A and B are shown apart, each in its own frame.
Chain A
């Protein structure tokens, strides 16, 4: 049985189930992506509260991929991939943009940012999933990776 690239082949670690779609850079894709996320994760056994969090994280990530990544260019696409593991779901959102440094994003909770009308998407995504990573694919676009564990508690607000 071939293992996934980058993963140690363990008999105890079966291959993840994968669902993948390609989306147009269009606002309609956002709702479609969110519905798919909720669908896939319902079947994967996540509870209602987690489904809402996963749906919202995907919603915000796909909007960012379309707007900031693909700059609303209708000729560019967004790829959405779900990998369902026994203990978690991994969600990959890939665009055709030039990437970003998540460490450089202003903190929306700082008082000088509190009244800004934007800049809360990634903050919300981070608070809804267990892991958030950004991979710059060097000329091939940007991939945002979200990991949600089963029965996980989201990070609590301090």
Chain B
């Protein structure tokens, strides 16, 4: 049960629908590359949809954080959508809910980027 990530465009936001396990391994390298590529091509509003993420480990959490920092450093934003209870609990105990912007509604999440970039 490995990870899959598909991107789609909603307005000026790139939504990345992630399914499966975000754990140490090749999949994690792929996710990192995907985020780096988006930023490099100028897609700097990134929304990770984690609704179908069944499991995330400390390396996966680290990857979310490093995506967040990479986006911020390049004048972009990386936000999270639809956390399952497991993922939410992990971000809670690691105090990362104070770091990430988290949404439960896609339209609202997408709208939050528009406001932030002033477009």
In the bound complex, residues from chain B placing their C-beta under 8 Å from that of A75 are none
Report chain A residues within 8 Å CB of B61.
Answer: 120
| B26-62 at interface with A (beta carbon < 8 Å) | 57-59, 61-62
Segment of A56-64, A85-93, A139-147 in the binding face = A56-64
Q: How large is the interface on A (under 10, 10 to 19, 20 to 34, 35 or more residues)?
A: 20 to 34
The contact sample of 15 A-B pairs, CB cut-off 8 A, is: A27-B24, A27-B25, A30-B23, A59-B57, A60-B58, A63-B24, A63-B57, A108-B94, A114-B95, A117-B62, A118-B59, A120-B58, A121-B58, A124-B94, A127-B93
Which listed residue (A30, A109, A118) contacts B58, Cβ 8 A?
A: A118
- What's the Cα separation between A27 and B66 when bound, in Å? 22
- For A27, what are the chain B residues with a Cβ–Cβ distance below 8 Å? 24-25
Q: Is the CB of B95 within 8 A of A56?
A: no
A30, B24: Cβ atoms closer than 8 Å: yes
A residues in contact (CB < 8 Å) with B: 27, 30, 52, 56, 59-60, 63, 108-109, 114-118, 120-121, 123-124, 127, 157
Contacts of A116 in B (CB 8 A): 62, 65
The count of chain B contact residues (Cβ–Cβ below 8 Å) is 22
Measured in the bound complex, the distance between the Cα atoms of B63 and A124 in whole Å is 16
Bound-complex Cα distance A121 to B62 (A): 10
Q: Is the interface of A mostly helix, strand, loop or mixed?
A: helix
Closest B residue, CB atoms, query A110:
B95
Closest A residue, CB atoms, query B90: A124
Task: List, in ascending order, chain B residues with CB within 8 A of A121's CB.
Answer: 57-58
Contact A123 B57 (CB under 8 A): no
Q: Is the CB of A114 within 8 A of B99?
A: yes
Q: Are A115 and B65 in contact (CB under 8 A)?
A: yes
With A63-B59, A120-B62 as known contacts, state yes or no: A52 contacts B86, CB within 8 Å.
yes
Q: Which residues of A contact B86 (CB under 8 A)?
A: 52
Across-interface contacts of A120 in B (CB, < 8 A) = 58, 61-62, 94
* Interface membership of B69, Cβ < 8 A: yes
In the docked arrangement, what's the CA distance between A115 and B63, Å? 10
- A42 to chain B minimum Cβ distance, whole angstroms, is 17
Query: What CA separation (Å) do A30 and B21 show in the bound complex?
Result: 13
B2 to chain A, nearest CB (A): 10
- B74: interface (CB < 8 Å): no
